[in-house]
Chains A and B, each alone.
Chain A
Amino acid sequence: ELKVEQNPLFLSMQEGKNYTIYCNYSTTSDRLYWYRQDPGKSLESLFVLLSNGAVKQEGRLMASLDTKARLSTLHITAAVHDLSATYFCAVAHGGNTGKLIFGQGTTLQVKP
């Protein structure tokens, strides 16, 4: 059974600081997703990581994937208040079906 665990679950940080969210998963997968969710809103796709060593960056966010370690990281550089949200990783399973197993989510609070 595929399990996905994120840590930390809650992160309070000051603007300008760097931090990393970790996503561990228990069985092999060929695809990992990162989403952002604002309170009461839908999920916004951030990154799709397809292969070992994949690294993608968008603004202050950078995601990487290590399939051998079954680990993905979401690194936040010089955080700003607008990045406050809940971040989910999700791992694809069951072949190329798009079925996702989600982590519990990491709530990020960036203080001015």
Chain B
Amino acid sequence: NAGVTQTPKFQVLKTGQSMTLQCAQDMNHNSMYWYRQDPGMGLRLIYYSASEGTTDKGEVPNGYNVSRLNKREFSLRLESAAPSQTSVYFCASSELRTGTGNTIYFGEGSWLTVV
């Protein structure tokens, strides 16, 4: 069981370049998320998708776009990368049910450097 899989794991971009981070989960979860983690900080939510076909902004959405391609896949796009977007990006998924554990599972992370 692979869980949440992200690609690429490492990427170096030049300022102004674009790229897409891919995420797929094999747990049949409805909800998926993209977070970023900066050094010495907790994670901050960029975008989330409660279900296939829906997306919504999180705490730090500026400079990003997302696509919920199907139930399994949720991609994050940087249209014009900036050095401030240098970070570690985590994808996550969850099956939220009222009154139950609602564990949120995270991928391995994607290390992005913008120079």
Contact = CB atoms under 8 A, between A and B. Distances in A.
A69 interface: no
A5 B59 CA distance: 17
Given A45-B104, A88-B42, A90-B42, A98 B48 contact: yes
A83 to B, nearest CB: 19
Interface of B is mostly: loop
A41 B59 CA distance: 23
Nearest to A35: B106
Nearest to B111: A40
B99 A50 contact: yes
Contacts of A90: 42-43
Contacts of A35: 106
A105 B42 contact: yes
Interface in A79-108: 88, 90, 96-105
B31 A98 contact: yes
B48 A99 contact: yes
A78 interface: no
B8 interface: no
A4 B94 CA distance: 21
Contacts of B104: 33, 45, 98, 100
A48 interface: yes
B45 interface: yes
Contacts of B72: none
B40 interface: yes
